[in-house]
Amino acid sequence: RTVHTTSLGNSILTRLKSSNLYDDIKKELFVSKSELKSLCDYYFDGKGKAFRPTIVVLMARACNSHSNRDGDLLPGQRSIAMISEMIHTASLVHDDVIDGSDKRRGKTTINEVWGERKVSQSRCPIHAKLLNCNMCNNVTTINEVWGERKAILAGDFILSAASMALARIGNNTVVSVLSQVMEDLVRGEFMQLGSKQNESERFKHYLEKTFKKTASLIANSCKAVSILVNSDPEVHEIAFQYGRNIGIAFQLVDDVLDFTACASQLGKPSATDLKLGLATGPVLFACQQFPELHGMIMRRFSSSGDVARAWQYVQESNGVDQTNYLAQHYCQEAVRQISLLRPSPERDALIRLTQTVLTRDR
Ligand code: FPP
Ligand code: MG
Ligand code: MG
């Protein structure tokens, strides 16, 4: 079979960004002009990778072609592309609070940002309790930290807007498929707070966590767009398995980049996982070569010098290569699954996307 060589994935991405995906998201986040609106809109500036909506649109078109329709998106499928980006962003807003992170997509995170706010009120916030402050002419700009509490509420608000858009699609199965994602995100994040004593259990725990925190959103969004066009459960399973496998590979590469890329490249802090107490793929593989890591993993790198020593062990081991190798294995499985659909330019773009996941550097 020939694989189309045009860069369809890239052109879908460009179209998504220049079309009105982000404008549509902002419309969903309808709140009259207020601070909450600025917070919620903050990351929908078209600067993200839009990885999830790109996969969702390609999968929708691949499933439409497979089902003998033209490739064009159904309205519900486009909504799912938008909803996947909203759920993802809401989870990142919360994640940055949990991780105490100060950079995301090259910007200061909501939990850390200093915002400017025009205040027009009878009680001047700067010159204290003066009513009708003549020093500020009753309208003033104050700097204030958005901070953690507002970040949590903004994440909740984005999630509620995503849920409304989901309900409007009017398909109960799709509602339940994407509600599963929200459960998985929370469970995945919760699993990350614990460590397993036994080494083989630890790896299983890591992969299950990786599915829940990252791959479930991609897998279930792919499944949802397939449900909207085809009633065959085998097609739903192919879509789900492609998303599951490419999603796990995506997170494995993310875990590698935490060790190999710099912050300016990533637009977020690097070398953070160990500091957060997390043992990801590279450390788990390194532990097979350097059993000294076991104790550090169990105490979540909390003793003085643990982070630096663990970092060194990872550099001396082949943990990074093995994690990349595992990501390749998941991508091969994603390709095997999607190849079960009838050929179409979109199916071939999904095949090529697996290479992009493996070679990305940000
Ligand atoms: C990023 O991981 C975080 C996630 C993929 C999921 C976060 C999920 C929650 C906080 C649960 C709440 C869920 C909802 C739906 C609001 P990371 O910290 O490893 O990656 P990073 O380096 O990009 O921060
Ligand atoms: Mg984080
Ligand atoms: Mg995190």
Measure the CA dihedral 240/73/45/349, to 10°.
60
Least confident piece of the model among 80-94, 173-187, 206-220, 254-268 = 254-268
Contact (Cβ atoms closer than 8 angstroms) between residue 258 and residue 273: yes
Q: Each residue of 347-362: pLDDT tens digit?
A: 999 999 999 999 998 8
Q: Residue 2: its pLDDT value, please? A: 33
Residues in a beta bridge with 187: none
From the CA of 155, the nearest ligand is 1
From the CA of 268, the nearest ligand is 1
Atom of ligand 1 nearest to the CA of 99: 18
CA distance 296 to 272: 16
Band of residue 162 on the pLDDT scale cut at 50, 70, 90? very high
Q: Bigger pLDDT: 210 or 265? A: 210
Ligand 2 mean position, distance from CA 102 (Å): 10
Q: Which of 27, 38, 291, 314 is nearest to 161 (CA)?
A: 27
Residues sharing a CB contact under 8 Å with residue 176, sequence separation 6 or more, in sequence order: none
Q: Residue 197: its pLDDT value, please? A: 80
pLDDT of 51 > 80? The answer is: yes
Atom of ligand 1 nearest to the CA of 182: 15
Ligand 2 mean position, distance from CA 139 (Å): 38
Q: Residue 6: its pLDDT value, please? A: 45
Ligand 3 mean position, distance from CA 94 (Å): 9
From the CA of 104, the nearest ligand is 1
Ligand 3 mean position, distance from CA 92 (Å): 8
Band of residue 225 on the pLDDT scale cut at 50, 70, 90? very high
Choose from 48-57, 121-130, 209-218 the range with maximum mean pLDDT. Answer: 209-218
For atom 22 of ligand 1, which residue has the closest CA? 268
Strands 139-145 and 114-120: antiparallel
For atom 4 of ligand 1, which residue has the closest CA? 213
Q: Which of 11, 106, 68 is nearest to 229 (CA)?
A: 68
The chain-wide mean pLDDT, for the chain, equals 89
Q: Residue 250: its pLDDT value, please? A: 98
Task: Name every protein residue with a CB atom under 6 angstroms from any ligand 1 atom.
Answer: 87, 90-91, 94-95, 98-99, 101, 155, 159, 182, 185-186, 189, 213-214, 268
Q: Residue 123: its pLDDT value, please? A: 53
From the CA of 90, the nearest ligand is 1
pLDDT of 101 > 60? The answer is: yes
Q: Which of 290, 207, 309, 199 is nearest to 255 (CA)?
A: 207
Q: Each residue of 203-223: pLDDT tens digit?
A: 999 999 999 999 999 999 999
- Chain centre to alpha carbon of residue 134: 48
In this prediction, what percent of the chain has a pLDDT beyond 90?
Answer: 70
Would you put residue 224 in left (φ > 0), alpha (ψ -120 to 50) or beta? alpha
Question: For the residues 26-30, what does the mean pLDDT come to?
Answer: 85
Q: Residue 126: its pLDDT value, please? A: 58
Instruction: Give the H/E segment covering residue 289.
Output: helix 281-289
80 vs 83, 86, 230, CA distance in Å?
5, 10, 15
Band of residue 137 on the pLDDT scale cut at 50, 70, 90? low
Ligand 3 mean position, distance from CA 157 (Å): 20
Atom of ligand 1 nearest to the CA of 155: 16
Assigned token pair, 232:
């065959």
CA distance 304 to 275: 11
The answer, yes or no, to whether ipTM is higher than 0.90 is yes
Max Cα–Cα distance, the chain, nearest Å: 77
Q: Residue 18: its pLDDT value, please? A: 52
Q: Bigger pLDDT: 318 or 6? A: 318
Q: Residue 142: its pLDDT value, please? A: 52
The count of other CB atoms within 10 Å of the CB of residue 361 is 10
